[in-house]
Every structure is written in structure tokens, then in C-alpha cells.
Amino acid sequence: MTSCSSLGIGLAGFGTVGSGVWNTLQRNSDLITRRTGGGVSLYIAKILVRDLAKVRSTTSEVDSEIFTTDWKSLVADPSVEIVVELIGGTSDAFEIVVAALRARKPVVTGNKALLAERGVELFAISKEMDTPIHFEAAVAGGIPIIRTVQDSFIGNQIHSFTGIINGTSNFILGRMTDGGLTFEVALAEAQALGYAEADPALDVNGWDAAHKAILLATLAYGFPIDPAAVHVSGIEQVRPADISFAKKLGYVVKLLAVIREHEDRSVELRVQPSFIAKSNILASVHGVFNAVAVHSDTAGESLFYGRGAGQDPTASSVVADLVEAARFLGSASGHRGFLPYRDSGRILPVGETTTAYYVRFDVIDRPGVIAEIAKVLADHRIGISGTHSPVDPANPDAEFVDMVFMLHSCPFGELQIALTVIETLDCINSAPVVFRIENY
């Protein structure tokens, strides 16, 4: 852009991130204009909220005239040239994004659930209207991983991503590790500090991370991915005993997103609690921070680290996308949003994925239990690297105890079949708990 263009932003949502975008533009608009050679000047023209009375009573620095509760008026407003969707969910947000694209107004969103679940439809409309969707804020907060994959790695074949991409789960597991807390106590602490929502389901059940992983995989490998094909397991079943056992073996427990392309071009995509060695760089990612390790053929190993959530880091990504969208409006060269390049691909069934495993059984404390479980595993050709049954000093005479098996690498499907048989044994009190052991 050779001359300064003052562009109006329609901001759908004025919560934590939306107000952060407002603050960033108020604080750094001149800096943005200077850094773009005088080419970009951004201002908020319209803000969509649910409750006008509430906003007007708490937000005195914003002109009340620019607020609206009607998303259609926001999209249709001629002063709005770029639409930012930050309301969340997949219903109203979908309608807003579709309307903006149909009006040929670039969209910026941080809504990973929307893109993971309805991205196929939205990106098709984006392509049809030649109008981009930018979504840097949807993955890993302030870490510029989306733009890196789209731009910096455009000449690389990406072999894999391995990442910690949910800060809430990482904080909870960290407090369980460092403070010896139970899952429930660590979750309550995360909620009290504002790191977890009142309903933390998507964070702790793994689906927040899975939505982000789907976006990364779609960008890297170029085909739409059905969320139903992704194996997702959360951290709800992690106990202090698991954390303690991992420590003794030189591991830490992290919620990992693993994306890996195989030689036949199938893509392994899963999210689950995993044991990783303390020496691995991802083991040192603490608190609400995120990190994504990328392995590609030309750039080799790269690591991206930073705050995965929060007002300012996420607002930073939104504003960067706003500048990119503004550049699109000032150029006739076409947009650099998502560009799919394969009609279809194969997600590797989770049963065909292979790692070593940590399996915890809740068993009746009696002689012969280890032999009963070991026989079933042997019948399915699954090797055992070690067993352990820690005694609870507070209850040494308990009828039921935890029995831990460390298993050699095998296809996950074979393990699932064996565990189905083991669950029928009369010494088993509840369903086994399985963690992956990732060796890099």
C-alpha cells in the first residue's frame, strides 16, 4: 500500500480479547502506521455486544454510539471494511463470518472450534469470494505459528508438529507436579486465577487442543479433516500417583498434540496425556505457556514458545491479522489466507498408531493379579517393560490398589483389544487408564 488507507473495523465481541484489541489499537495505531510505511491506519467503527446497558456502565472510554446488538447491522455498515469475530461458538459466529465473506469483507477470527468444525464450508466461501479468513489467534495465542506455516514454511515439507497448545491443562498438570495437588484442587486453583473457565470442559477434555491441532494439520497437509477422525483424551483421569510414578522414571506428564505425516501420506493426529522425558525441551514448558515443535525437511527442527492465551498475547495476533487483511484490501494480487491444495487425505486410524504405554489398573489386592494381566498381554504379543504396585501408606490394608504396567511399543489397536479382555477379569475393578510414552 503506497498511501495511507484508514480502515474501519467491525468488532464482533468485546470481552477479554475484544477489549484487548481495542486497547492495542488505541495504544499502537501510530506505530502500526509507521511500520507499514504509512500504508495502514486502523480504527474500530462498530462493536457488537450482547448487552448494551452492561457495556455502557462499564466502558466509559469507548463512544457508546458505536455499540450494537445486531450483527447484521455491523456487517452491513459501510464504514466496516474488516470484520473481527470474537464471540465464540459455532452458530452465530458462523453466520457472521459467512455474511462478511459474502460482502467481500476480510474476516479475522480467533475461533478455533468454528474453523475446526465448519472450516470446510467457510474456506470454500472464502475461495469463492476471493476474500480471506485470517486466524492467527485461533492457535497458541500470541505465538505466530499460523503465519509461519503459511509463509515461512511454504517451501518445506512438514513432517510433524508436537505441541503443548492448551495453557489451562498445562497449568493444572504443572500444579499437580510441583505442588502435589489433586486434579480437582489444581482445577479450582486455575479457575480462581482466571486460567480456566467456569465450565472448563473443552480445556481439560482435550478438545480445545484438538481444534487447534486440526487447524495446524489442515494448513500443513492441505485437506479438510473431520473432527470425528481425531483421537482425543483429556487430563481428567490424571492422578497424583501417575505424576509421582512419572517423576521416578525421569518423565513428566503433559497434554500433547501430536501431528505426524507418514510415508504413505496418511496423517497421524491425536491429543492425549503423555509421558515425556524430563530432558525433552517440551518438559520445561510451565504454567499457561504453549510450545510447538515443528520438524520439516528444509528448516529442520524449530520451536515456537510463548503465552498461549490471555488478553494481550491473543490481541497481538488479532491485530497482526488486521494489518494483513488491510494489506489485502490495498492489493490486487489476491489473498494469502487459507489455501487448500488437496481435495482429500487420510487420517491414520488411532488403532494403527504405535508408541510405548503406561497403563494403570485398579485391581483387587490378591496374589496372582500380575500373572493374570501379563498372560492376556502376552497372548496379544504385547511386551512388558516393568510393573509396579505402590502401597498407599494411609491405607495399607485397602481391598483395591493401583497396579501399573509399563508396556513396549505396539499398535494402539492391539492394546485396546487386550484391555477389553483384561477388563473382564474378576480382579479388575474399573476401566484401565492409558497414557502414551513419547520418545523423541
**pLDDT tens for each residue of 157-215:** 999 999 999 999 999 999 999 999 999 999 999 999 888 888 899 899 999 999 999 99
Q: For residue 77, is it within any domain?
A: yes
**Mean local confidence (pLDDT), 218-245:** 93
| E strand or H helix that includes residue 275 | strand 267-277
Count how many domains the chain has.
3
Q: For residue 32, is it within any domain?
A: yes
CATH number of the domain enclosing 417 = 3.30.70.260
Question: Which residues contact residue 248 at a Cβ distance below 8 angstroms, ignoring those fewer than 6 apart?
Answer: none
Domain edge (last residue) among 265, 296, 329? 329
pTM of the model: 0.87
At residue 266, what are phi and psi to the nearest 5 degrees? -70, 155
Q: Which residues pair with 295 in a beta bridge?
A: 160, 301
Which one-letter DSSP state was computed for residue 306?
A: E
**Mean local confidence (pLDDT), 135-158:** 87
pLDDT digits (tens, 9 = 90+) for 405-440: 999 999 999 999 999 999 999 999 999 999 999 987
CATH number of the domain enclosing 29 = 3.40.50.720
Q: For residue 340, is it within any domain?
A: no
Task: Tell me the one-letter amino acid at 344.
Answer: S
Residues 199 and 156 in one domain: yes
Residue 227 in grid coordinates: 473432527
Closest to 214 measured CA to CA, from 204, 229, 203: 229
- Pairwise CA distance, residues 72 & 94, whole Å: 12
Closest to 81 measured CA to CA, from 110, 103, 48, 65: 103
**pLDDT value at position 331?**
62
3-state secondary structure of 29: helix
- Pairwise CA distance, residues 136 & 395, whole Å: 50
Residue 66 in grid coordinates: 458505536
Whether 392 shows a pLDDT value over 70: the answer reads no
Domain edge (last residue) among 272, 297, 329? 329
- Pairwise CA distance, residues 209 & 338, whole Å: 20
**Mean local confidence (pLDDT), 106-110:** 93
Q: For residue 21, is it within any domain?
A: yes
Q: For residue 11, is it within any domain?
A: yes
What's the maximum distance between 2 C-alpha atoms anywhere in the chain?
Answer: 82
At residue 91, what are phi and psi to the nearest 5 degrees? -105, -75
Q: For residue 432, is it within any domain?
A: yes
Residues 405 and 433 in one domain: yes
**pLDDT value at position 1?**
41
**pLDDT value at position 336?**
52
**pLDDT value at position 399?**
67
Residues 14 and 131 in one domain: yes
Whether 94 shows a pLDDT value over 80: the answer reads yes
Domain that holds residue 174: 150-307
Residues 225 and 275 in one domain: yes
Residues 205 and 325 in one domain: no
Q: For residue 92, is it within any domain?
A: yes
Residues 193 and 297 in one domain: yes
Residues 203 and 289 in one domain: yes
**pLDDT value at position 338?**
56
Residues 223 and 300 in one domain: yes
Residues 301 and 165 in one domain: yes
What sign does the CA torsion over 422, 250, 303, 408 have? negative
pLDDT over 70 percentage in the chain: 92
247 is catalytic: no
Q: For residue 341, is it within any domain?
A: no
Q: Look at 40-49, 50-59, 312-321 and tell me which has the smallest mean pLDDT.
A: 50-59
Active-site residue, from 46, 105, 112, 212:
212
Which of left, alpha, beta for 89 (phi over 0: left; psi -120 to 50: alpha)? Answer: left
Q: What's the mean pLDDT when you consider all of the chain?
A: 89
Residue 175 in grid coordinates: 500444579
- Pairwise CA distance, residues 186 & 169, whole Å: 10
Residues 287 and 373 in one domain: no
CB 163 within 8 A of CB 438: no
First to last CA, the chain: 45
CATH number of the domain enclosing 174 = 3.30.360.10
- Pairwise CA distance, residues 88 & 12, whole Å: 10
Residues 94 and 227 in one domain: no
- Pairwise CA distance, residues 345 & 224, whole Å: 8
Residues 303 and 316 in one domain: no
Q: How confident is the model at residue 17 (pLDDT cuts 50, 70, 90)?
A: confident
